[in-house]
Each structure stands twice: as C-alpha cells, then as structure tokens.
Amino acid sequence: MTTAPTRRRTDTRYRGVVYALDVLDHHTSQIVPNDYVGKTRQRGRARELQHRDTQPFSDRIVGDARVLWEGMCTEDELDEMERRFIQDPPAGMSRPRLNYQLNEDNPERIPKWRQVEQRHERDDRAGRPRWVPPELRERTSLLEWDTPDRPAARPQSLPRKPWRPWQRQLCGATAWWLILFTAGWMLLAHFRLVSGWQDQAVTALLTPLPGIGWAWRWTVLGFPMSGRAWRRRAAARRRRR
C-alpha cells in the first residue's frame, strides 16, 4: 500500500506570523517604521535573515523584525491578514513602501526596479560589488561576472619505471661497443695497421668484443667490486626471485 506525499492542507490551521521591518530611508537615512510587511510560518529570525540576503533594501534594515500579528491560521487566513496590514493598516501605522505585491495602489510605493537602482547607488558609494538578485546570481556568476583566470593545471607525469637488469646490460654493452668500435677504426685508419677499408672494418668491428664484458660489469655490477660484494649482490638477487 502506497501513500501520497504529505502536503500542508489549506484548511488546516498552523502557527503563522505577520511581521514588519524598520528600514532606513535611501535619501534621508531616517528610520521608516514598518516599511516592509511580510508573513512567515518559520520560527525565530529565519525569515528575517532571508530578507537580509534576498531584498535590495537588506543593507538598510534596522533592528529585528517586529511581530504585528501571530496566531493559528490557514493559508488563506494568513494571506488575508498580511493583505490587511499592507492595504489597510491599523491606526497610527502607515502603509509600507517596499512591498511590491498587494501594494500597487500605494502612491508612496517604491517599485522593485527603483529599489535595485538605489541599492546600486549605495554600493557604488561604499565601493563594494553591486547587489545581484538571488535568481540571477547563479547565472551571472557563471556567464557574466568577471572571475580571475585559474592557472592551468600542470599535467601529472607518470613515474618512470626503473630499468630492468637486462636493459641496463644491453645499454651499457652497446655504449661501450660504439666507443671501442669508433676508437679502433680511428687507430687503424691513423696508423694504417691493416690495408684496405674492408680489413679495417672487420678488425674495428671485432675489436670491441673483449670490452663488452667489462662494460657489462661496470654498468650493472659497478666497478671495482670485491668478491664479498659480488656474493652479497648475488644473494640479494636470489631473495628477490
């Protein structure tokens, strides 16, 4: 048996609050009581803190939110109570200027676009970045705002594998053979010990062969090595196997 997702019923009463915020006037910097009226079902200062981030007048809010009405009510009753404080406030309380909904007939009403302009003027005077509405922050942060270029990540090189013994032997023997072959050819050509370039080539080719053993010893085992060092190296090689 499956149950439908729970939703708040419109005919059920929950705790609701209608509150007001005191805001500094943009031009005179005088405190305007109850310049914004809102509703909430949240407890504590959660809703007030949201306004301090989502409204263009958030930098001009003075003090904490003032509770105008609180009680158990349905959604429609809470909406109606908020409308009353915006359109027909009690005696001694003026209509709020910063509400842009349910407040269109108020001649003192400050339109939302004008509130944003005033906020940008204050930001420019204070030398801080201009305020951006929450619904545009994600888009502008990705597409429009200037962001410092990040340095390109350096490609991580893979660790080099150590040479295997046969690779070191082959490299060392080849290097020594080339050295001795070149030296033998030069000696034969200089002193003319063998006649004909064919004989010189064959002799120079065979001359390095005795040195390959020494090359292997120097490259792989190191030189000089005592008999004890040789035995230790051989024992270590057997243990690795």
CB count within 10 Å of CB 78 equals 22
Task: Kindly report the pTM of this predicted structure.
Answer: 0.52
Residue 144's pLDDT is: 46
Residue 174's pLDDT is: 74
Q: In the chain, where do the E strands start and end? A: 14-24, 31-40, 61-73
pLDDT band per the 50, 70, 90 thresholds, residue 193: low
Residue 74's pLDDT is: 92
Q: What is the pLDDT of residues 209-240, one digit of tens each?
A: 555 555 555 555 554 555 566 677 778 777 77
Give the bridge partners for 24, in sequence order: 31
Helix, strand counts (H, E) of the chain: 8, 3
Q: What is the pLDDT of residues 96-154, one digit of tens each?
A: 999 988 999 999 999 999 999 999 999 999 999 998 888 777 654 444 444 455 555 66
Query: The tokens of 3 are what?
Result: 């149950």
Q: What is the pLDDT of residues 44-75, one digit of tens each?
A: 666 666 667 788 998 898 888 888 999 999 99
- 180 neighbors 206 (Cβ within 8 angstroms): no
Of the candidates 28, 32, 83, which has an alpha carbon nearest to the alpha carbon of residue 62? Answer: 32
Q: What is the pLDDT of residues 28-40, one digit of tens each?
A: 999 999 999 988 8
Lowest mean pLDDT among 19-23, 29-33, 186-190: 186-190
- Edge-to-edge strand list for the sheet holding 61-73: 31-40, 14-24, 61-73
Tokens 């908020």, located at residue: 82
Of the two residues 122 and 192, the one the predictor is more confident about is 122
Query: In sequence order, what are the residues at sequence separation of 6 or more whose Cβ sits closer than 8 angstroms to the Cβ of residue 51?
Result: 21, 36, 38, 58, 61
Residue 123's pLDDT is: 92
Q: In the predicted model, is pLDDT for residue 188 greater than 50? A: yes
